[in-house]
């Protein structure tokens, strides 16, 4: 018998957490974080992590488990997620970091350990030159990486330094870590752009009123490397610039909302074009889940028909 596992994926502010919580309560599941930034301990408010009240309603895992001084990565997350999944009747993987989810459903390619010297050089060049200039130094195979994606650029550059090969060439090889042994079913939220845009602005106002500035101030007090993933979480660079007196609060908000909106567009495109699970195991919702009242067998019969097949059927397999 293959154990079922649900994936609740989609762009930022699409309502993944609300849906995952409703499903965890209804089916007795454990919500496992699949958002790279929500892993960081210091970033509860600015990453919109589940509240303590939400966490009390259903089991949650991998939220706030890493200090900001540590750089999380896909290999670490996969191992931690698999460990959390073994103790859950129904793992519900919730998040918008597509590469993390893909590492479970498709496996990870045979990329060797990168020497620390290569990592340090990549970080130093990124900090000194900026992502666009370092992008020009990548292997031609990695030219598809966006010139503004500093994290992937640094990763591709350290791989090139450490192995003499492009990141893309390693990723094309057969996975050294195979797909996880679960019967994965995925729910993809894909709301209209206008709904996401409005939700992003509303959430940002709530974050600023709810302690986001204090969170970023604490990060700055730690004197962390600015190239660390936590220091590049959406909203952190903008609020940091505001605290340094470089821009106004109004400008920080404008930039953060715009940058988050551009990111949700890229997320939605990625999920539309990546096959995390076979089409027959995918349920798409072209709307934003704004609250738990939307999620019931009465008002979402197609969703629950899909869920009953996903959750109940495997239990009767030989």
From first to last of its 318 residues, the chain has per-residue pLDDT tens of 689 999 999 999 999 999 999 999 999 999 999 999 999 999 999 999 999 999 999 999 999 999 999 999 898 999 999 999 999 999 999 999 999 999 999 998 767 778 888 888 998 899 899 999 999 999 999 998 989 888 789 889 999 999 999 988 887 776 778 899 999 999 999 999 999 999 999 999 999 999 999 999 999 999 999 889 999 999 999 999 999 999 999 999 999 999 999 999 999 999 998 889 999 999 999 999 987 778 888 888 899 999 998 887 654 343
Number of domains within the chain: 2
Q: Residue for token digits 């821009």?
A: 247
User: Are 51 and 81 contained in the same domain?
Assistant: yes
Asked whether residue 188 falls in the same domain as residue 310, the answer is: yes
> Do residues 107 and 175 lie in contact, with contact meaning Cβ atoms separated by under 8 Å?
yes
Give the residue numbers spanning the domain of 157. 116-173
Asked whether residue 36 falls in the same domain as residue 141, the answer is no
Which long-range contacts does 75-80 make (Cβ < 8 Å, 24+ apart)?
75/103, 75/108, 75/177, 77/34, 77/36, 77/39, 77/103, 78/103, 78/104, 78/108, 78/177, 78/180
Q: Tell me the whole-structure pTM to 2 decimals.
A: 0.83
* Bridge pairing between strands 175-177 and 282-285: unpaired
Per DSSP, 180 falls in state P
167/183 same-domain check: no
Same domain, 241 and 194: yes
Q: Which of 153, 173, 193 is the last residue before a domain boundary?
A: 173
Among the three residues 152, 173, 194, which one is the final residue of a domain in this structure? Answer: 173
Query: Which has the closest alpha carbon to 277: 61, 12, 11, 98?
Result: 98
**Cα–Cα distances in angstroms (integers) from residue 222 to residues 37, 168, 187, 219, in the given order:** 18, 35, 38, 5
Of 147, 173, 199, the residue that ends a domain is 173
Instruction: Indicate whether 95 and 121 sit together in one domain.
Output: no
- Both 135 and 193 in one domain: the answer is no
DSSP H helix total and E strand total for the chain: 13, 8
Query: Measured between alpha carbons, how far is 131 from 127 in angstroms, rounded to an integer?
Result: 8
Does 94 lie in the same domain as 27?
yes
Residue 315 gets which letter from DSSP? Answer: G
Q: What is the CATH number of the domain that holds 208?
A: 3.40.50.300
């Amino acid at each position: 018998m293959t154990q079922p596992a649900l994936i609740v994926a989609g762009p930022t502010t699409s309502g993944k957490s609300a849906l995952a919580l409703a499903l965890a309560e209804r089916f007795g599941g454990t919500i496992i974080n699949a958002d790279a930034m929500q892993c960081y301990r210091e970033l509860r408010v600015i990453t919109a992590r589940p509240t303590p009240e939400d966490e009390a309603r259903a089991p949650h895992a991998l939220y706030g488990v890493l200090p900001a001084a540590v750089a999380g990565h896909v290999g670490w997350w996969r191992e931690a997620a698999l460990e959390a999944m073994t103790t859950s009747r129904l793992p519900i993987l919730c998040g918008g970091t597509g590469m993390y989810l893909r590492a479970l459903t498709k496996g990870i390619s045979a990329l060797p350990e990168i020497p620390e010297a290569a990592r340090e050089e990549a970080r130093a060049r990124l900090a000194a030159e900026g992502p666009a200039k370092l992008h020009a130094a990548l292997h031609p195979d990695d030219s598809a990486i966006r010139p503004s994606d500093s994290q992937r650029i640094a990763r591709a550059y350290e791989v090139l330094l450490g192995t003499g090969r492009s990141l893309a060439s390693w990723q094309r090889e057969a996975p050294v870590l195979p797909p996880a042994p679960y019967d994965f079913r995925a729910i993809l939220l894909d709301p209209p752009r206008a709904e996401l845009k409005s939700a992003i602005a509303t959430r940002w106002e709530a974050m600023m009123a709810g302690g986001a500035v204090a969170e970023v101030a604490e990060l700055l007090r730690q004197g962390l490397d600015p190239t660390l993933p936590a220091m590049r979480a959406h909203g952190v660079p903008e609020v940091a610039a505001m605290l340094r007196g470089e821009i106004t609060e109004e400008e920080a908000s404008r930039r953060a909302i715009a940058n988050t909106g551009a990111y949700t567009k890229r997320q939605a495109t990625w999920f539309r074009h990546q096959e995390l699970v076979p089409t027959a195991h995918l349920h798409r919702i072209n709307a934003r889940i704004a609250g738990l009242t939307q999620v019931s067998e009465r008002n979402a019969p197609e969703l629950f028909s899909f869920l009953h097949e996903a959750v109940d059927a495997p239990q009767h397999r030989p």
